[in-house]
Amino acid sequence: MRRRTIHLAFAVAAVAFGALAAAQAIQLRKAARINQAVASAKANASAAADVPEARLAQAGALAEAGQHDAALAVYNSLIQRGRTDALGQAALFNLGNMFLRNARETAANDAFQAQALVELAKQRYRDLLRADPGDWDARYNLERALWLAPEAQDVFGAETDDMPKELLRIKVPGLPPGDLP
Domain spans in the chain, listed from the N-terminal domain onward: 18-70, 81-150
The pLDDT-based confidence of 80 (bands split at 50, 70, 90) is confident
The answer, yes or no, to whether residue 2 has pLDDT greater than 80, is yes
45 versus 58: the higher-pLDDT residue is 58
Write down the pTM of the prediction.
0.63
Q: What is the pLDDT of residue 167?
A: 47
Q: How far apart are alpha carbons 124 and 119 in whole angstroms? A: 9
Grouping H, G, I as helix, E, B as strand and the rest as coil, residue 116 is: helix
Question: Could you tell me which of 70, 73, 128 has the C-alpha nearest to residue 97?
Answer: 128
Q: What is the CATH number of domain 81-150?
A: 1.25.40
Longest dimension (CA), the chain: 93
**Is residue 23 scored above 50 in pLDDT?**
yes
Amino acid residing at 124: R
